[in-house]
Amino acid sequence: MKRLIVIVLVLGVGASLFAQAQLSEYRFASGDWRWVGNRLYQNDAAAPLAKVNVRVPQSGPMIYEFNVRYEDGPRKTHAGFGIHIFADDVIHVASWGSGTSYLLWLNYDENPVTPGFPKGFSAQVYRSISNSRMELVESVDLNAYVDLVDQYLTSQIPVKIWANGDTGEVRVYDPTDSALDYYFYFNLPTKGLKGNWVSLRTNNVKASFGLGY
């Protein structure tokens, strides 16, 4: 049976819902995270590894839903945001990786240094091996959608991700049409994916997160 994690709902309405949602902990690991009403803001446009860790059990089919809004930046020519899922362990300070997990990342880079890495807008999937090591799994050029990005830049962009830790199948839904999705497969360990943490993160940009797809 699919289980729904509405990450920012649990965080945003306060600690009283933690017991109901069976979430025991969230930690602002790096960056300048603050609540404004029921919306969570990362306010440091210069933070390269801003991150908030949310403790939640994950196994089998999962759904991750939230919305994100661009607030300001980037202060540099490289910026992005994303989410680590199925993280087995994390540290509550700035780090490149997030334990053993997968990072789904939306990226803007005017001058990429990685060979074959798309210039401009792109999306990446990384496999996090440790808090200091990640491997690029896949990269998708999104420059064909630049006009769409400009159109919705100041809107609350819905994010919906379905991921199955048993099979490795992942579906990322189109924010403009929930009937459409992009799917791919993680390269799974023998026993599949299980984790205790989710990490939301930003790079060199101010952004806010809230409830709703």
Kindly indicate the confidence band of residue 189, based on its pLDDT and cuts at 50, 70 and 90: low
What would the pLDDT profile of 127-176 be if each residue is shown by its tens digit? 999 999 999 998 889 888 877 767 777 788 888 899 999 999 999 888 87
Q: What is the CATH code for 3-95+145-210?
A: 2.60.120.560
Token duo for residue 159: 């994010």
More confident of the two residues 170 and 37: 170
Neighbours of 179 (CB within 10 A): 6
Kindly indicate the confidence band of residue 49, based on its pLDDT and cuts at 50, 70 and 90: very high
What would the pLDDT profile of 75-84 be if each residue is shown by its tens digit? 668 899 999 9
Q: How far is CA 119 from the centre of its chain?
A: 21
For tokens 């803001």, the residue is 41
Structural domain boundaries of the chain? Answer: 3-95+145-210
> Which pLDDT does position 55 carry in this prediction?
86
Kindly indicate the confidence band of residue 212, based on its pLDDT and cuts at 50, 70 and 90: low
What would the pLDDT profile of 110-130 be if each residue is shown by its tens digit? 998 887 788 999 999 999 999
pTM for this structure? 0.85
